[in-house]
Amino acid sequence: MLLRSDVEKALFNALPESMDIRFSTTPERIIQFSKGAEVTLASATDKTTTERFDLVLGADGVRSTVRRLVFGPDANFVHNLGYMIGAAQMNTNVTSYPCSDSVMLTELGRTAMTVAYANCGPTVLFSYRTVDAQAELNKRPSEAVQAAFGPKPFGHVLNELLEGYASAGHQWLDIAQQVRMKQWHYGRVALVGDAAWCMTPYTGLGASASIAGAELLVRTLTAHGDDVSSALSDWNTRMHPFVDYQHRRIEQSRALIVAGYRKELIKQHMMIRLMSHQAAAKVIGQAMSRNTTLATKHTDLGVL
């Protein structure tokens, strides 16, 4: 188990010194020409510059500015699953549980759980169903989550998880949403990672798929030499089966974390019971990774 911030730190530290990194800089306009794109960039000081690039890659996450500028409005690609996800790094472990244990409390339409790490406090994760995701985002994260798990008094474990969330340095709360696109490239602009195919935390593998997808893109570009257009098209074709597989099983993956219907709740409880037996957990883990391997078979995702 690795924290996303540790993965990010490791990747950042591996960048060569010569890399030109500009913080607080946002693309405002992208105009394509036959062998490149002209990008107008705005910095935090409101200074704008226009520069030409051979290839523009939007790796700017689920709310990608590059996607909006080149491919169209979010409404065309971003699908709201009707659930919220809250997460935070807790400062302390959950009392009365060994720090290696993950805890999961589930009810219809809501789940509170922790993910244990070897060298830091657990991550607490909340997921709950909502009919008005935007209204949830307008609330303070800790208030939104507390309200979603009320109104009955909380038990001691849930209380600890809610307090751990409220007192964490940073509370993350967002809508569970998928990005679905048939084509991740247009001319000399391409999207990679969550910007292109956000799979939601329910399926997992988002960070791995972002890194593996970028690595496959570089390999494909290198193999195609100057023919950037064929390289992007080849990459798109090779990457899609894996992403489509993860997108197709979203309801199944979501139901393992948070049940939307009574039938799903029964299945989820059976699965939790099975997973608490070491031998059964091993068989389920093997079956899940076999399915992922099958989905990646033609994709050639070396890093995944």
Footprint of ligand FAD (CB under 6 A): 4, 25-26, 59-61, 65, 85, 87, 193-195, 201, 204-208, 210
- Dist CA 128 CA 173 (whole Å): 11
Smallest gap from Cβ 244 to ligand FAD, in A, equals: 16
Q: Which among 66, 9, 74 is positioned nearest to 191, based on CA atoms?
A: 66
Pick between residue 196 and residue 228 the one whose CB is nearest to ligand FAD.
Answer: 196
Report the largest interatomic distance among the alpha carbons of the chain, rounded to a whole angstrom. Answer: 64
CB of 48 to ligand FAD, least distance (A): 13
Nearest distance in Å: CB 25, ligand FAD? 6
Q: Percent helix, strand, coil in the chain (nearest 5)?
A: 45, 20, 35
Rg (CA), the chain: 21
Select from 31, 134, 40, 135 the least CA-distant residue to 78: 134
**What is the C-alpha to C-alpha distance for residues 147 and 70, in angstroms, rounded to an integer?**
39
Q: For residues 85 and 148, which CB has a smaller minimum distance to ligand FAD in the complex?
A: 85
Residue (152 or 170) nearer to ligand FAD, CB: 170
Instruction: Provide the minimum distance between the beta carbon of 201 and ligand FAD in the complex, in angstroms, as a whole number.
Output: 4
The rounded Cα 139 to chain-centroid distance in angstroms is 22
| Residue in the block written with tokens 């074709």 | 237
The nearest distance, CB 262 to ligand FAD, in angstroms, is: 26
Min CB(208)–ligand FAD separation in Å: 5
Nearer to ligand FAD, 200 or 268 (CB): 200
Query: In angstroms, what is the minimal distance from the CB of 58 to ligand FAD?
Result: 9
Nearer to ligand FAD, 136 or 194 (CB): 194
If the CB atoms of residues 173 and 259 are measured against ligand FAD, the closer one turns out to be: 173
| Nearest residue to 234 (alpha-carbon basis) of 223, 247, 245 | 223
Of 25 and 233, which CB lies nearer to ligand FAD in the complex structure? 25
Q: What is the DSSP letter of 116?
A: -
Query: In the β-sheet with 110-115, what is the strand arrangement from edge to edge?
Result: 104-107, 110-115, 123-129, 78-89, 172-179
